[in-house]
Structure 1
Amino acid sequence: MASMESRSLPMAAATSMSVAIAIVFLINTAAPVGDAASVEHTFIVNQTKMTRLCKETQVTVVNGQLPGPTIEITEGDTVTVHVINRSPYNMTIHWHGVKQFRNCWADGVPMLTQCPILPNKNFTYQFNVVGQEGTLWWHAHVPGLRATVHGAFIIRPRHGAESYPFPQPHKEIPVIIGDWWEKDLAEMARNMTKSIFLSYASASTINGLVGDLFNCSGVWFMHCHYEFHLSMGMAAVFIVENGPTMDTSLLPPPVNFPTCSHDNSLIQTI
């Protein structure tokens, strides 16, 4: 009997040790990266008038700008965003594409993960960004208002630009393609619930500005590519490369064809 007890003690100790190791492992995997930072923003949602297409239109924006602020973080960081709703509408902010590990209450889906932020009320989102990187975006999770309440959300790799699978760029510029509406977006959203949707955007935009086919246009910086204008004023860009055979290759460009300053380019979309 004594020998049986002496044999069972190491097994119990080993089991306890295994449980302890498992708990420590779970805690370590859930903890943020040691050198992670805390990134904090304040979003003031209000209405302002912006001039597009030669006329003023009242729009709902964040911090008085369109697009809204770009959030730039490094993988592993903690993000805190204080939303102050000074608009006449209920509001939530959704972080599109961000994996909310154990942070579902920060996902910004009204009546599902949170109650809407009422007019003249505040709400603070806080979440960790772990295990992902790339170019995403944030937007209002309110019908219609995401057309003007949005911005870029950039997650850089923990090891810096050296870990990019392409040559390090000289500069990175977020490009957000959207629509410009001259009509009341909230009213349009209400009409959609009644199966009434007969409206189309007045123009397409890049970073909040309309293209040069429209009156009082902004400036679009498309260059070094053949481009043509579509019905809504957008420019389509085709980037191609030669295939392995003559049948899948392009003819060489004219000798006087302008070249870009560098050969490598990256376009990332979500």
Structure 2
Amino acid sequence: MVTVPPPLVAVAHGSRDPRSARVVAAAVTAMRMQRPDLDVRLAFLDLNAPSVDRVVDTVAAEGHSSAIVVPLLLGSAFHARVDLPGILAAARTRHPRLELVQADVLGGDRLLLDALRDRIADTGAAADDPETGVVLAAVGSSNADANRRVHRLTTVLGAGTRWPMSVCFATAARPSVEQAISSLRVQGARRVVIAPWFLAPGLLTDRLGAAALAADPGVVFADPIGAHPNLAAVALARYDTAVRAGSYRTRIPA
């Protein structure tokens, strides 16, 4: 038997928009480049292949005794708390000799907020310009606590800048992007940047962009976090934390 680090199964949401899968694949490639010692595999919860079931079945068929599943998700909502645990529970029934460990979501890690700040800077926004306002645009949730956590992210995102900031949500919550832009204009912002708290572009970011431009044709839309090196670093940190918690190694036939 050979003892190696357990495979890292990076699980993304999935999207009908092909840009999303390309960005996630690039992020996983960056993870492999940062940690060539690890076996990193990409899986999707929905709409894209390979599925989580297929990847886990392959890991089991290869004889691994454990694997760490890292959700490439910014929030701990339904997909992280219900959907993925249910998929992994069914996989454990199929493969009782394979220990599957779900790591924490990416969350509001400071490194991800630094990455988003880089995306804002790419639009030409200067950190010392008080006339540049930033809208942090997130998905939104029916859970009020989850939405409050998004509001708190602006403190970290705006640290060291003079940007007035506001928050908007794409679904299920207010304020809307129109309301967030209006709030910044009232605060004196002459230039408004929409900063999407999303890993990849897709239908929701396009919808946000269209709504923002309809409300105010002068707004600028920053890129999502995308395959920024910090995304790979945070996902790998979640993996390492899960491994340390259980001192996991995986055994495969020599």
Which interval holds the TM-score relative to the shorter structure? under 0.3
Q: Relative contact order, CA 8 A, sep 6+: which one is greater?
A: 2
The TM-score normalised by the length of structure 2 is 0.22
Q: Which of structures 1 and 2 has the bigger CA Rg?
A: 1
The TM-score normalised by the length of structure 1 is 0.21
Greater strand content: 1
